[in-house]
Structure 1
């Protein structure tokens, strides 16, 4: 699915009328005849093509997955910055914010 738009395309000159003249959604990839009938070369208007992607429902992370990733990131960060004290700091941080590291 594509959206073809005949809109003002010259950034150096102010638009003399409507910014968007016509917009047509079409399943094919060819420029619709309705837009080609209105378009004239040299007027400052241009044909724009935008692919329309299907809307996807956003997926939510489970509490277990959030907890696993948060704990792994904390472990990785501590091992990189303070490897000698990483184990004790890890336990202290988990005890200080248990709800966060349980995925809440």
Structure 2
């Protein structure tokens, strides 16, 4: 089972995802597509020569949480917590591992 992670606000309005030794990023420009239009957005990671897509984020079926799928596992965060971090109202929020077959 994946370890718990952390979602935090980063420079320029981007969101940083920290899980175990891995560090991922959701670009500020992609947040609008997720939060306002419900579109699936990429989760990226720094790579030699640029960035690489290493996962995706999407609203869950009820629209009350955001699911983050990365190389190291899948996580869920309540929408209200995700929004507070995205707006900079909260410095960080915990990510909860998704139990296989529960989502």
Fold equivalence (TM over 0.5) = no
Q: Tell me which interval the TM-score lies in, with the shorter structure as reference length.
A: under 0.3
TM-score, with length taken from structure 2: 0.21
TM-score, with length taken from structure 1: 0.21
